[in-house]
Amino acid sequence: MDFLDLARERYSVRRYSDQKVEKEKIEKLIEAARIAPTAVNLQPQRILVVDSEEGIKKLEKSTPFMFGVNTAFVIFYDKGESWKQTYNRTDYGPIDAGIVATHILLEATQLDLGAVFVGHFKTDVVCEEFDVPEFLVPIAIIPIGYPAENSRPAKLHTQKKDISETVFYNSLDGVKPGVGKDYSLD
């Protein structure tokens, strides 16, 4: 499939069937994550594959957004291994973890699976439930599974800003500040 077609086909799946994700597909998702580009190729990502009922229940303690899946990936980065930008010490660990997560999301679509990037979760609960070492920082939970028959993209999925609002050539003249919307889910 053409990359742009794949990217357009992918959507955040929030309804799943009970069908278990096969080990072969989990391995392909892991490989997609493994080959993701990271800053200075340091590969600080760490991925916890959760595919037991007990593990899913632990994740459900941290977020209401598990959507009844039986498989999820938790994406972490190792803060001791991630690259820090030379000039201002910006930690690229969260960026690397986001790139890795994107590879997983796209590969899931390629494999006829559904997935969703969940950033709204209690990191302290995940760390406590899974006895996460202090040097790992949780960035996302990715519920993964077979979409339910009635799964559809959210209404806002296809609404994209005009390219003139997001892309500028050689100057940022005309760029406007965001409006600061509150998207709090609590």
CATH number for the domain harbouring residue 79: 3.40.109.10
> How many structural domains are present in the chain?
1
Residue 134 belongs to domain spanning = 3-166
Q: Is residue 54 a part of any domain in this protein?
A: yes
- At 184 the pLDDT is 67
pLDDT at position 185 is: 63
Q: What is the pLDDT of residue 182?
A: 72
Domain assignment present for residue 104? The answer is: yes
In a domain, 140, yes or no: yes
In a domain, 103, yes or no: yes
Q: Kindly give the confidence (pLDDT) of every residue in the chain, 186 residues in length, as a single tens digit, with 9 standing for 90 and above.
A: 899 999 999 999 999 999 999 999 999 999 999 999 999 999 999 999 999 999 999 999 999 999 999 999 999 999 999 999 999 999 999 999 999 999 999 999 999 999 999 999 999 999 999 999 999 999 999 999 999 999 999 998 999 999 999 999 999 998 988 877 776 665
- Whether 67 is in a domain gets the answer yes
- The rounded Cα 128 to chain-centroid distance in angstroms is 21
| Beta carbons of 174 and 47 less than 8 angstroms apart | no
How far apart are the C-alpha atoms of 27 and 100, rounded to whole Å? 14
Q: What is the pLDDT of residue 9?
A: 94
Residues in Cβ contact with 57 at an 8 Å cutoff, skipping those fewer than 6 apart: none
For 82, the token pair is 């991630």
Rounded Cα–Cα distance for residues 77 and 132 (Å): 11
**Residues in contact with 14: Cβ distance below 8 Å, sequence separation at least 6, in sequence order:** 65, 67, 116, 151, 154
H helices within the chain, ranges in order?
Answer: 3-9, 23-34, 53-60, 93-110, 123-129, 163-166
Whether 145 is covered by a domain: the verdict is yes
For residue 173, tell me if it sits in a domain.
no
pTM here is 0.93
Interior angle at CA 32, CA 122 and CA 51, nearest 5: 50
Structural domain contains residue 34: yes
88 to 36, 93, 179: CA distances (angstroms): 24, 14, 27
Can you read off the two tokens belonging to residue 2? 């053409």
